[in-house]
Amino acid sequence: MTEASVREFKMPDVGEGLTEAEILKWYVQPGDTVTDGQVVCEVETAKAAVELPIPYDGVVRELHFPEGTTVDVGTSIIAVEVAGGAPAAGAPVQEAVEPQAEEPAAHGAGRQAVLVGYGVATSSTRRRPRKGAEARTPEARTPEAAKAVQSELNGHGGTPAAPAVPAAAPAPAAAPAGQARPLAKPPVRKLAKDLGVDLATVLPSGPDGIITREDVHAAASRPKAPEQAEPEARPAPAVPDRAAPPATAVSYDTARETRVPVKGVRKATAAAMVGSAFTAPHVTEFVTVDVTRTMKLVEELKQDKEFTGLRVNPLLLIAKALLVAIKRNPDINASWDEANQEIVVKHYVNLGIAAATPRGLIVPNIKDAHAKTLPQLAESLGELVSTARDGKTSPAAMQGGTVTITNVGVFGVDTGTPILNPGESAILAVGAIKPQPWVHKGKVKPRQVTTLALSFDHRLVDGELGSKVLADVAAILEQPKRLISWA
């Protein structure tokens, strides 16, 4: 094997100028066969967790960094021996992996490392048989032959009994180090991960021993035997791989302190908040408002056929109220350009929504929210929240925000003094909406009341402008018909 036949896959820039990423999980090990577009690892940047596909075919030679390592962009993370032609039927895999001088150029010319789903070119190369001393002929990889082998491995001489995979761990689970992992396409691997299915315990039914979606569903429907649960258990890592520990991480009976590395989203959030708090002079104003009519409108919209299947809640009308207030006071939608000593007024609104996720606080934004109708805004809000909860928010979705809403009311909090998202001039905090005694038409009555807090950058937003915006939002929520007269 010559040095020219080894390809080095470097950590790509997975998020608009970020300089580093942490390797969360390797999906391959040395000796595994990989194909163009196959996901080889998951990495976490300061903005998102993404999966990285390999851009060529070959056999993994070396993983340069273990899981949990933070690697600079442009640093090689995995070495792959590029593959040769397809092996003849029944030939050992080792003999089939011979490099060709032209293959690196054929697979790498003009390619850029890209993210999953961002347009990796389809490869015409077939997936090679699994590496190992037990390489089988195509005939031996048929479902019937696989079942026979599986039965034989578990001590059965005749036809295997249903289910096809017995309670005892099958051979792949006890495979020696260096043998390739079970063959499955990335979507199937994701399905298995979501269902909690170990691919090593799944009997493949696809061609060349590839595991299909049906195989994963079949494995998920089978009850797990007690002896299978033990190998799955792993000791808790000494250092959590997420920014913040769970609420129950500290046991007062066993430890007095837990140290959590500051990295990923937590590290980026800390740096951004410190930079924002000590760069932009913050001013926060408050207003308490009767939103009873807004809450009634929310219930009416839920019954409207135009909103069928859409998420309709108070946040939808609060967002619309803020957009109308910005339209009436456009100078609030701006940013401070320190280098050029200019105030940049934006003629579009990318509305950020602060979202608490398992990875920490993120602020994706709705692009051109000012141009959306109320149903379109409801659809965008629903997609933003669902994507954030699933941990699938892309780095691009968190770039370019102009103003932000943070809904602390969902935690039962009355209000707060939010810190500006860096590069923005204002952020609106929405408190809990709850019944309170309120003077309405000269009488004290129970009304739905909330408190709004608007923080703004006092370099470019003076008290008059900030007060007008907050007052307009409150006025709309008190009398939602102003959405028609002011829009």
Q: Are 1-134 and 265-486 in the same CATH fold?
A: no
By the 8 A CB rule, do 213 and 196 touch? Answer: no
Q: What is the CATH number of domain 265-486?
A: 3.30.559.10
Mean pLDDT across the chain: 76
The more confidently predicted of residues 444 and 254 is 444
Q: Is 147's pLDDT higher than 50? A: no
In tens, the pLDDT along 400-441 reads 999 999 999 999 999 999 999 888 999 999 999 999 999 999
Reduced to 3 states, what is the DSSP secondary structure of residue 357? strand
The pLDDT score that the predictor gives to residue 180 is 53
Alpha helices in 61-156 (DSSP H): 93-96, 103-108, 143-153
**Buried residues in 159-174 as b, exposed as e (16+ CB within 10 A):** ebeeebbbeebbebee
Which of the listed ranges 169-183, 254-268, 458-472 does the model predict with the highest average pLDDT?
458-472
Cα 403 from chain centre: 22
Confidence (pLDDT) at 5: 84
271-285, 355-369, 419-433: which has the highest mean pLDDT?
Answer: 419-433
d(CA 393, CA 413) in angstroms, rounded, equals: 26
Distance from C-alpha of 473 to C-alpha of 238, rounded to nearest angstrom: 48
Catalytic residues: 458
- Domain 136-238 matching CATH 4.10.320.10: the answer reads yes
State the residue for tokens 């190992």.
Answer: 132
Q: Is the pLDDT of residue 184 over 90?
A: no
> Between 45 and 310, where is the model more confident?
310
Question: Of residues 358 and 456, which shows the higher confidence score?
Answer: 456
Instruction: Give the separation between CA 374 and CA 420, rounded to whole angstroms.
Output: 26
Other beta carbons less than 10 A from residue 34's beta carbon? 24
Q: How confident is the model at residue 396 (pLDDT cuts 50, 70, 90)?
A: confident
Q: What is the DSSP letter of 21?
A: E
Where do runs of H (alpha helix) occur along 203-359?
A: 213-221, 226-232, 264-277, 292-302, 314-328
Q: Give the pLDDT confidence score for residue 332 in this predicted structure.
A: 96
Class of the CATH-defined domain 1-134: mainly beta
pLDDT digits (tens, 9 = 90+) for 190-238: 677 777 788 888 888 887 778 887 788 778 777 654 444 444 444 444 4
Residue-wise pLDDT for 118-133, tens only, equals: 333 333 334 444 444 3
- Every domain of the chain and the residues it spans: 1-134, 136-238, 265-486
Burial class (CB in 10 A: 0-12, 13-18, 19+), 223: exposed
pTM score: 0.54
Residue 345's pLDDT band, with cuts at 50, 70 and 90, is: very high
Q: Which of 347-351, 361-365, 388-392, 437-441 has the lowest mean pLDDT?
A: 388-392
Residue 158 confidence (pLDDT) above 80: no
Question: DSSP 3-state assignment of 279?
Answer: coil
Residue 252's pLDDT band (boundaries 50, 70, 90)? low
Of 36-45, 235-244, 453-462, least confident by mean pLDDT is: 235-244
At 17, is the pLDDT very low, low, confident or very high (cuts 50, 70, 90)? low
* Most confident among 44-53, 253-262, 423-432 (mean pLDDT): 423-432
Instruction: Tell whether the model's pLDDT for residue 56 goes beyond 70.
Output: yes
Q: Output the pLDDT for position 469.
A: 97
